[in-house]
Amino acid sequence: MATDYYAVLGVRTDATSEEIKRAYRKLARQLHPDVNPEPDAKERFAEVKAAYEVLSDPAKREIVDLGGDPLAQPGMGGAAGQPFTMGFEDLFGAVFGQRTARGPRPRMRPGSDALIRLDLGIEQTAFGVEQELTIDTAITCTTCRGAGTAVGTLPSTCDICAGRGEVQTVQRSFLGQMMMTRPCANCQGYGTVILHPCGECGGDGRVRTRRSLTAKVPAGVGDGMRIRLSGEGEVGPGGGPAGDLYIEIHERQHDIFTRDGDDLHCRVAVPMTAAALGTDMTVQTLDGEETVEVKPGTQSGTVVRLRARGVPHLRSAGRGDLHIHLEVRTPVRLDAEQERLMRELAKLRDEEHPEPIRPSSSGGFFSKLFNGR
């Protein structure tokens, strides 16, 4: 019976390659022997890895969708009375003109990528910053230097596969005898076994440690963006090359500014008298305080734009703008003298009993409503 690789990864049969990759990474982090001490974690990790190997390969995935199992494919067939010796890799090579090398797989393998979150303020994302980071990752074991063996010892050739890393079994079918090739369970396909593992890393060739590094965040980054530090991720098993470290930027909410792309927005309250008479106001920007002119007769909702006072563009020269939204504030408490003066002003402006201000009759949907059209 073919293995349900979709079920192993916990994805739908119509899952995209990105969904398959995310599911694999999530399960790999949970089941990796370095972080999961459960007895069956290593076996489940191997199953998850095999499922990802199959479903991430379009040709192998097509065989799964047709009801087959590419890791157990017997081959094309042979003469009567002779076993079939062509596995899936050979079949793939015969069709596409390539052959996959057989033999033991190396213990040294590339490491996985790592991801950390970095919280920054708008000032830091706008102008860039050098941030000191502390991360927990796997590094090459300094005792065995990635070999995984105790000092003075070497891996021994596997007695089961004689160093080939794979074993063959013959099965009978209606087509005849078929020879199936599988990784050796005794040495996990390496061809050798470590009889005396390193006491520091337990034979993995790497250990986990906390280390510090400095990340340079460029000016203009935004919330959700990722910065890649090549070779700063997890060192691979057997001292293999390290993966990459991704820094995901999370921008904290600012007390004054809100961000829209590279533009900034803020709200400033203007007293009613200042809006009517006009004034100069001091406002805060990312570059410091600046003076803004409030013209006489300014209405609530007026927007004043300060060019090039926003966030620098990430991939080009220049900056966004700062949009200042003016809110005219009407006083809610007046003393006797202030009330007298306000009533006198209303009388002078003939506004003691004002009528609703209607839209201009120049056109527009609402003007037609007010004019009965």
State the pairing for strand pair 303-306/322-329. Answer: antiparallel
Q: What is residue 253's three-state secondary structure? A: coil
- End-to-end alpha-carbon separation of the chain, Å? 76
Residue 212, Cβ density class (10 Å: 0-12 exposed, 13-18 middle, ≥19 buried): exposed
Does 158 show up as a binding residue in the annotation? yes
Nearest by Cα to 9 from 39, 45, 36: 45
Beta bridge partners of 251: 120
Measured distance CA(34)–CA(37) in Å, rounded? 8
Sign of CA dihedral 212, 217, 222, 228: negative
CB of 140 within 8 A of CB of 237? no
Rounded (5°) CA angle 114-120-124? 120
Does 266 show up as a binding residue in the annotation? no
| Burial readout 225-261 (b: 16 or more C-beta within 10 A, e: otherwise) | beeebeebbbbbbbbbebbbbbbebebeeeeebebee
Does 184 show up as a binding residue in the annotation? yes
State the pairing for strand pair 176-183/129-140. Answer: unpaired
Measured distance CA(18)–CA(182) in Å, rounded? 28
Annotated binding residues, written as ranges, equal 141, 144, 158, 161, 184, 187, 198, 201
Annotated binding residues for Zn(2+), written as ranges, equal 141, 144, 158, 161, 184, 187, 198, 201
